[in-house]
């Protein structure tokens, strides 16, 4: 592969030499430059950045585009140059290769000193280096032993569920064929006898008709009948289906303007035609979060300072909730003030604290501390020119970047960072309009982690003031606040609840003034903990607890994680369609839950079952440090939680069935829940819940969860993602959807279908998927019916011929039956038939449940078609044979075998084509042309075929037959009555079924029978973004169309575009048929005058 031929710098002696990735070996020292990818799993030794820090992007692993911080061991900081790196000698003792992306245990032994290693010192293959000139690392795992490779899966070969069931139907047809042949063969062995002297069976005869050896007669007749009845196997069905699927993909899905994203100029793309109908039966959707549901764009939206709420904006969640409650939001609320600012990371509107106006607020000191906390308490790196307009921030999370951007817009502009100093340009502090650059000395940084859920910075002001700034989760910060000031705490708590219900991500900000003595005593303990070789993280947390107390609450922030346009509405529609949506993300649990709220997957009334590894029992086991004990405790905890939650969920379904249930589980617990001993419990609980959120999961775990439902529950699954970390999940599901996002094309290249936005799933599933399923079900069952009807007619004839294997139909008639005389109409139905319009499919998403239940391809449906095939075959044979027993031609001769068979074949062709029209939901000119054309093709063929006779074939059998038949009144009467009698049973059944036992779509048809063309009123949400040519094409596509003559529904067939366009002021090229159209209109006007 080309990726393994990429080059990387490897240490040879005391210089760097370029070497292909494929030659790397464990223990090599390598240098990775900025924006380069790590070729293997590396132990991070040193960096050009101060304090041994580097920034990496992990989008290929967890889908997150925000930067992560990795820190080298202090013992190895100096190994930056090749001269010093060449002197590095050490031994790494670590775990065996595994697929866990977020854990790593090991030790580095240098000069007989053992230094513990953690995931902070591990750089995984597939990640890239950012904002760092270069780093030096030692190779730990290479090739297939790297964590990203152990998370990959083999590319599967996918077949739709409908095709697999079709295989069973074909096997059933083979069994039917075998049964018919056995009956005929046994009948032949019984029937053959010398007493039928007129058959000439005495003396020397062929083995097949020798009465003296009935066993041989039976065997040979068996093979004869197999060839005779082989038409029951619909070989042409597979060709027709592939043709229909291919056209559905290339012409319908790829060209659908409702799935075209104008901003990125990205249409929908069907990368395979095997799974069209699978889109109409999806019951579970597994979705990535970042870049799939969200835009990965955090914006500072509101805040609360000193008990006062600021920010006048309305979130998408609030708007959606108001709409569901029937509350109309005034347009005035959407208007922004002159002081409003909207830039990357900041979307805030409140003139009270913008442009220095905070000085006039009742709490200006609190505002000042709030803004300083935003500008100082972070690990963000500034890039570019040191001006507010051109600077960019590189942060470990988009939340941090949004908070720093907020500080900048409030007048506290962070523009430079050194190893010990943060430079902030403060405006309006001393007096209105004043600007001053203030250096803050950063003494200590207490980093954020999932256990602490907070970050703190100890800084020294230029005047010597020592302050601890802290920001973190509300429950963590509130536990550490000083006594007093209860009113502000209560008010801020209410504000936090309001922000949370609006779908905003919240943080609390607090500070504490420190005396010099307090700080020096604490700092000694901090330095000791930081230099500890054992349980360093634990000791650092304990030391942090000593100073992170008696805090003074400043306020709280509210950040909006922007969802993609239309995501909540799309999810609500899909849920109404009976589809369950699971979110599988590499993000932390709090973020995932916030997104679940924002997407309407979870609301305040939802009962949540949370299985987390952040429990006291698990923490105590981790503190003891025994890996076996930790694994046992986590597994026992997960097992107990699954069983108790399962019982609780079942009880909730009985007591309050209308209440939604949600399971939320993190990746560490999921690893144990996927164990074979607990997998059944996990699946049982998951299937009861309406939605499931899996956090901190690896790519392999995403695929394992998908496979669990796919194989364990035998449900049809769909996975959707946009990054390389979603590839395994996309490949594991029945249908994989790739989103053309900002994380490259890996997901798209591995997918079955590609779309630009999550909301396009509505059209892809509810419209194209549902139509494809309905059409293909109709195509398959109709093929089964027409072939069975045709073959059974031959089967009944066998009983009249002593089971001899005599053909009832001519060879050419039999060969062309599926190829010409019945081929085109069924393809037209497979392409154009639709029960309801696209807008009604989305307006009534419950219609989709018929696909989930597989209502149109059940054995009961197939049996009904088979019953009427059986009935019609009896009508075709016995009615024509009995009625023509005393029939005569114009010459007075009685009608022979080929006269009767030609008459029966004519009835079969006419009837099966008319039966297809009865099965259609919408009939257009193409249906009429194809059906009439097939029937006419038969008569044209038989006219020519009957008029020619050659000496080297059996054509003399049907020579002049059609001309003899058409000279009799009997032929026309039979051709009229037999199809009517044959179709009467179908007509009666369809009438009773529609009247007494209607399908859901038939009810919708009746409700909207008098609403032609309503589908064309649906407007594209992005019409305003179309180019003039695209807008013109769209207006043409929305012009009136030919109306269905069967159900009253509009149909997208071409017709009189330029005539209708001229009535609506749209310019299109004139067509030839418009001349006749205008002429007829003039005649009508003249007649009226």
What residues are labeled active site? Answer: 288
Classify 274 as helix, strand or coil: coil
- Alpha carbon distances (Å) from 598 to 474, 490, 741: 19, 25, 20
Tell me how many degrees the CA angle 948-951-957 measures, rounded to the nearest 5.
60
- Residues 288, 63: contact at Cβ < 8 Å? yes
**CA atoms of 593 and 579, how far apart (whole Å):** 20
- Alpha carbon distances (Å) from 73 to 107, 122, 274: 11, 11, 52
- Cα maximum dimension of the chain: 129
- Residues 144, 99: contact at Cβ < 8 Å? no
Token pair in block for residue 149:
């490779």
**CA atoms of 446 and 449, how far apart (whole Å):** 9
Token match 């009880």: residue?
651
Closest by alpha carbon to 54, among 39, 40, 41, 73? 73
Look up residue 710 and give its DSSP letter: I
- Looking only at the bridges linking them, the beta strands covering 580-584 and 552-563 are unpaired
Token pair in block for residue 678:
């607990």
**CA atoms of 182 and 189, how far apart (whole Å):** 11
Question: What strand order describes the sheet that includes 91-94?
Answer: 91-94, 106-110, 113-117
Length of the chain as a residue count: 1089
- Alpha carbon distances (Å) from 782 to 912, 919, 920: 9, 9, 11
**CA atoms of 929 and 105, how far apart (whole Å):** 72
Rg over CA atoms, the chain:
38
- Residues 411, 371: contact at Cβ < 8 Å? yes
**CA atoms of 859 and 845, how far apart (whole Å):** 25
Token pair in block for residue 178:
């075998």
Alpha-carbon 78 to chain mean position: 48
Give the number of other Cβ atoms within 10 Å of residue 600's Cβ: 21
Token pair in block for residue 94:
């670590």
- Alpha carbon distances (Å) from 768 to 246, 262, 838, 1043: 13, 20, 9, 20
Look up residue 35 and give its DSSP letter: T
**CA atoms of 577 and 281, how far apart (whole Å):** 10
Closest by alpha carbon to 789, among 675, 912, 929? 912
Residue 284, burial from CB neighbour count under 10 angstroms (0-12, 13-18, 19+): buried
- Residues 45, 72: contact at Cβ < 8 Å? yes
Token match 């279908």: residue?
753
- Residues 734, 753: contact at Cβ < 8 Å? no
- Alpha carbon distances (Å) from 921 to 12, 195, 1009: 74, 57, 12
Give the number of other Cβ atoms within 10 Å of residue 74's Cβ: 12
**CA atoms of 1040 and 1012, how far apart (whole Å):** 9
**CA atoms of 566 and 569, how far apart (whole Å):** 5
- Alpha carbon distances (Å) from 169 to 97, 827, 856, 862, 894: 47, 20, 14, 9, 42
Alpha-carbon 162 to chain mean position: 19
């Amino acid at each position: 592969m080309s990726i393994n031929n990429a080059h990387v710098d490897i240490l040879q002696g005391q210089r760097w030499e370029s070497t292909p990735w494929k030659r790397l070996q464990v223990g090599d020292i390598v240098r990775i430059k900025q924006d380069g990818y790590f070729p293997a799993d590396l132990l991070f030794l040193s960096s050009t950045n101060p304090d041994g820090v580097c920034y990496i992007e992990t989008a290929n692993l967890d889908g997150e585009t925000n930067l992560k911080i990795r820190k080298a061991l202090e013992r190895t900081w100096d190994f930056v140059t090749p001269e010093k790196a060449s002197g590095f000698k050490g031994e790494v003792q670590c775990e065996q290769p595994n697929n866990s992306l977020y854990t790593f245990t090991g030790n580095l032994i240098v000069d007989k000193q053992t230094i513990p290693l953690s995931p902070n010192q591990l750089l995984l293959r597939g990640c890239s280096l950012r904002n760092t000139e270069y780093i030096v690392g030692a190779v730990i795992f290479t090739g297939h032993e790297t964590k990203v490779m152990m998370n990959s899966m083999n590319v599967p070969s996918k077949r739709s569920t409908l095709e697999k069931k079709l295989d069973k139907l074909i096997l059933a047809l083979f069994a039917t064929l075998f049964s018919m042949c056995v009956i005929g063969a046994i009948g032949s062995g019984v029937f053959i006898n010398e007493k039928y002297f007129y058959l000439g069976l005495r003396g020397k005869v062929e083995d097949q008709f020798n009465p003296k050896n009935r066993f041989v007669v039976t065997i040979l007749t068996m093979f004869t009948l197999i060839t005779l009845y082989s038409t029951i196997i619909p070989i042409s069905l597979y060709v027709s289906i592939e043709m229909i699927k291919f056209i559905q993909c290339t012409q319908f899905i790829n060209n659908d303007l409702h799935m075209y994203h104008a901003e990125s100029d990205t249409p929908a793309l069907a990368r395979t035609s095997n799974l069209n109908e699978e889109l109409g039966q999806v019951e579970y959707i597994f979705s990535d979060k970042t870049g799939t549901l969200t835009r990965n764009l955090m914006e500072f939206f509101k805040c609360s300072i000193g008990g006062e709420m600021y920010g006048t904006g309305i979130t998408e969640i609030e708007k959606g909730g108001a709409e569901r409650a029937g509350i109309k939001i005034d347009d005035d609320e959407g208007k922004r003030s002159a002081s409003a600012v909207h830039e990357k990371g900041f979307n805030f509107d409140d003139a009270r604290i913008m442009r220095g106006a905070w000085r006039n607020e009742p709490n200006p000191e609190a505002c000042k501390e709030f803004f300083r906390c935003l500008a100082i308490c972070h690990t963000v790196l500034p890039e570019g020119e040191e001006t507010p307009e051109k600077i960019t921030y590189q942060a470990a999370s988009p939340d941090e970047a949004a908070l720093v951007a907020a500080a900048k817009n409030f007048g506290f502009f962070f523009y430079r960072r050194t190893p010990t100093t943060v430079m902030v340009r403060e405006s309006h502090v001393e007096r209105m309009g004043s600007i001053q650059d203030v250096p803050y000395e950063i003494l200590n940084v207490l980093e954020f982690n999932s256990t602490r859920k907070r970050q703190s910075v100890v800084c020294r002001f230029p005047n010597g003031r020592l302050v601890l700034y802290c920001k973190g989760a509300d429950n963590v910060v509130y536990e550490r606040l000083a006594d007093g000031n209860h009113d502000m705490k209560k008010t801020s708590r209410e504000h936090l609840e309001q922000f949370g219900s609006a779908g905003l991500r919240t943080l609390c900000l607090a500070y504490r003034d420190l005396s010099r003595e307090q700080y020096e005593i604490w700092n000694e303990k901090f330095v000791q903990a930081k230099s500890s070789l054992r349980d360093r993280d634990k000791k650092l947390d304990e030391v942090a607890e000593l100073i992170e107390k008696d805090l003074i609450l400043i306020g709280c922030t509210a950040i909006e994680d922007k969802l993609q346009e239309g995501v909540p509405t799309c999810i609500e529609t899909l849920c109404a369609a009976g589809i369950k949506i699971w979110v599988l993300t590499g993000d932390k649990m709090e973020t995932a839950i916030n997104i679940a709220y924002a997407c309407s997957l979870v609301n305040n009334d939802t009962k949540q079952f949370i299985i987390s590894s952040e429990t006291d029992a698990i923490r105590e086991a981790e503190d003891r440090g025994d890996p076996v004990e930790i694994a046992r405790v986590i597994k026992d905890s997960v097992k107990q939680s699954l069983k108790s939650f399962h019982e609780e969920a079942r009880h909730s379904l009985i007591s309050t069935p209308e209440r939604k249930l949600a399971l939320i589980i993190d990746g560490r617990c999921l690893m144990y829940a996927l164990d074979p001993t607990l997998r059944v419990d996990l699946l049982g609980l998951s299937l009861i819940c309406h939605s499931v959120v899996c956090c901190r999961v690896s790519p392999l775990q995403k695929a394992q969860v998908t496979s669990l439902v796919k194989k364990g529950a035998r449900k049809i699954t769909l996975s959707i993602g946009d990054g390389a970390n979603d590839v395994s999940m996309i490949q594991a599901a029945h249908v994989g959807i790739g989103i053309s996002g900002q994380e490259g094309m890996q997901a798209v290249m591995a997918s079955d279908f590609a779309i630009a936005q999550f909301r396009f799933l509505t059209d892809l599933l509810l419209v194209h998927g549902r139509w494809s399923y309905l059409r293909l079900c109709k195509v398959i069952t109709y093929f089964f019916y027409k072939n069975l009807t045709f073959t059974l007619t031959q089967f009944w004839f066998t009983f009249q011929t002593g089971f001899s294997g005599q053909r009832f139909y001519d060879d050419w008639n039999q060969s062309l039956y599926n190829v010409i005389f019945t081929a085109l109409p069924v393809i037209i139905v497979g392409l154009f038939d639709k029960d309801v319009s696209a807008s009604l499919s989305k307006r009534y998403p419950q219609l989709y449940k018929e696909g989930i239940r597989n209502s149109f391809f059940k054995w009961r449906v197939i049996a009904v078609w088979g019953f009427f095939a059986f009935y019609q075959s009896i009508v075709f044979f016995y009615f024509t044979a009995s009625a023509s027993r005393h029939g005569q031609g114009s010459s007075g001769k009685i009608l022979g075998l080929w006269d009767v068979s030609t008459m029966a074949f004519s009835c079969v062709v006419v009837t099966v084509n008319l039966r297809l029209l009865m099965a259609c939901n919408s009939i257009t000119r193409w249906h009429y042309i194809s059906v009439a054309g097939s029937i006419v093709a038969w008569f044209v063929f038989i006219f020519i075929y009957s008029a020619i006779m050659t000496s080297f074939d059996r054509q003399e059998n049907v020579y002049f037959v059609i001309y003899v038949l058409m000279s009799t009144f009997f032929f026309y009467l039979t051709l009229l009555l037999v199809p009517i009698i044959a179709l009467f049973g179908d007509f009666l059944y369809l009438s009773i079924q529609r009247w007494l036992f209607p399908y859901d779509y038939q009810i919708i048809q009746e409700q909207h029978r008098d609403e032609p063309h309503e589908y064309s009123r649906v407007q594209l949400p992005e019409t305003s973004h179309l180019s003039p040519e695209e807008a013109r094409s769209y207006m043409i596509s929305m012009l009136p169309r030919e109306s269905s003559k069967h159900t009253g529904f509009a149909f997208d067939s071409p017709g009189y575009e330029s005539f209708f366009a001229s009535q609506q002021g749209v310019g299109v090229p004139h067509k030839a048929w418009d001349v006749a159209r205008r002429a007829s209109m003039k005649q009508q006007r003249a007649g009226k005058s």
